[in-house]
Structure 1
Amino acid sequence: LGPLRYLVKPYGWAVPHRHWISHAPLVGTAGRLAYIFLPLLILAQLPVMMGALPFNPVWALLRTPQFWWGALGLALADTLHFAMDMAVTGAKRFVGQLLRGENYERRTEYELPSRD
């Protein structure tokens, strides 16, 4: 990532890899967009407050249909990514249990080990 790693690193600290917040289709997309655009919105407001610009260009961008179509595309991609993660993880777990000879229907996550 080069110098961009300094921009991405705080997001990685705040949201761990594969955390439900980063993988939830709408929540994850909105969080990443806010992480990118909120600082830009604040920085672009400074010239407006000093009178150098008549309006905030980032705010103008956020109000365009193109931005929202792009956000929808990102949300759809996140949804597909989430669905594929769930499908692949479930399939791997199911195949692993079959190979180990475990009964998939009877096994529960909260089953306590026997104390023989």
Structure 2
Amino acid sequence: MTADTLTTVEACLPFWAKAAQPVDLPEGVEVLEVPETMFAGIILEGAETGYPQILSGYDTVADWIVAHGFAFAGPAYEIYRRWCGTFGHPDNRLEVGWPIDEAPDAGPTAGPTPTATPTAD
């Protein structure tokens, strides 16, 4: 990607059906409903949020998904829990991971265990 190329960027601002709804969106901005799903992710903090360190977070989650027999159910997400404006900032906190489909009974494996939790409405 360069300054002369166009690309699609997706950003998320969560809202709930029984609360305020987005209105007066700028041209080209649309609401996309993300269906409820399970998500396998890991929290990264500080230097882990910089490049190339962030890649080890993706690798850890992907390895966990495969080792536990889950299936990838969509594109990877980066969820910025706290962002200080600079990659690798010591106060950054973000979650990386994928939506997943449920696995049949799978036994535990050694190593870091990302969380797999259903998303909330």
TM-score (norm 2): 0.25
Greater relative CO (CA pairs within 8 A, separation 6+): 2
Structure with the bigger percentage of strand:
2
Structure with the bigger percentage of helix:
1
Over alpha carbons, which structure has the higher Rg? 1
TM-score (norm 1): 0.25
